[in-house]
Structure 1
């Protein structure tokens, strides 16, 4: 079953409806702590990081961001252990380096992926807080809705194409939109319809 496409829509009101459903779709997910972690990530951490100079996250915040990312997606315990094992000073230095190179995607992402347990998706979760106009969170459910990207590859080159597509769509939707909001609207659309598909399959099985 294909996810009903939001990507082809150009009406910002349709996108806004999808974005408005994001908190409810989060609440419908079976993952424990997702509502708590997602609320913290969006509403608590964002203003804290945005107020820092330069914008960066602490070791403790990176660990919790990783927990959020895995809870919203796929849980990988060994990766979380690796992230926890990074030295706080190394996390701080990675943040300083990334902040100096936000206009260079490869260097900004690379500053965080140099840390143990941090791949492009986790790095993007940090940068989405640091610079939401430029860096959406790298999510498979979202990527699968963007026409022309092809099968998801967890690489910087794939992420660059994902970013380019999402930033372009945000620009087309108007000044109220940024890359992070487009990603969330797409995720809500994808997760909502994936859940409806699962319910239909369960009904058939019964």
Structure 2
């Protein structure tokens, strides 16, 4: 697949799987400048989901919400005010609203609205919270992923825009699952879109391995 091609418009599950396999390599490349990114991303993608799902009732603690915001800001645009706002939420309020939000699923709209009652939490952060506890249903509203979907730029941080994004990712996940042997979710699609977009800037050489042999420029032989 040419490096200039749109990953979202690619219908080949094999190409998507190759991008998926590069995800942690891309995170490591970014972590050269953002030192805690790899640690926080591992925590968000692996440890936090296990903690949430191990509870009798799914919810986040205040400490987890604060750490999630740290991860989100380090991974994307840095907005220091949001960190302070999130940390100002009382423990019981965080647990109450996150618990109720998970109870609303699979109604993502109601779940997002519930989480937006928390200080410092908008649709994008709400999507990260829900994604951590229900990665099979919800995708994180990462700028890089949203911008990769035709018709969704510029990014608007509201529920309507997020729902359009999630619907498009669900369609893509269904298409990829039907066309290959892997099981795809909106979150996995989102991670691939993020990795593809970020790699173009942070580590473009990684993507060169994804080009098809017949798509690579043919080297001309020198003649005497």
Provide the TM-score with structure 2 as the length reference: 0.83
Tell me which residue corresponds to 1:183. 190
Contact 1:3–1:145 (CA under 8 A) maintained in structure 2: no
User: Offset at 1:103?
Assistant: 2.2
Q: Is contact 1:58–1:91 with CA below 8 Å preserved after alignment?
A: yes
Aligned-pair Cα RMSD in Å: 1.5
Partner Cα separation in structure 2 for residue 46 and residue 28 of structure 1: 24
Structure 2 distance, partners of 1:108, 1:134, is: 12
Match of 1:110 in 2: 113
Deviation per residue, 1:126-183 (Å, 9 max, x gap):
1001111221000111111111223110010000000000011111111511111110
Match of 1:24 in 2: 25
Aligned to 1:160, which of 133, 158, 163? 163
* Change in 2 beyond 3 A, CA 1:10/1:24: same
Contact 1:120–1:155 (8 Å) recurs in 2: yes
| 1:18 and 1:189 in contact (8 A); partners too | yes
Cα distance in 2 for partners of 1:112, 1:162 equals 18
Partner of 1:9: 10
| Structure 1 unaligned blocks of 5 or more | 198-206
Misfit runs of 4+, over 3 Å: none
- Greater gyration radius: 2
Counterpart secondary structure, 2:41: helix
Q: Secondary structure at the match of 2:128?
A: helix
- In the alignment, is residue 79 of structure 1 matched against residue 82 of structure 2? yes
8 Å contact from structure 2 (residues 26, 203) kept in 1:
no
Quote the residue 1:172 is aligned against: 175
1:144 equivalent among 121, 144, 147: 147
Q: Supply the distance in 2 between the matched residues of 1:5 and 1:20 (Cα, whole angstroms).
A: 18
**Kept after mapping to 1: 8 A contact 2:41/2:71:** yes
Do the aligned partners of 2:29 and 2:203 also contact (CA within 8 Å) in 1?
A: no
What TM-score does the superposition give when structure 1 sets the normalisation length? Answer: 0.90
Unaligned runs of 5+ in 2: 205-224
Is 1:193 the counterpart of 2:196? The answer is no
2:222 maps to none
Aligned-partner Cα distance in 2 for 1:16–1:37: 23
Distance 1:139 1:3 in 2: 20
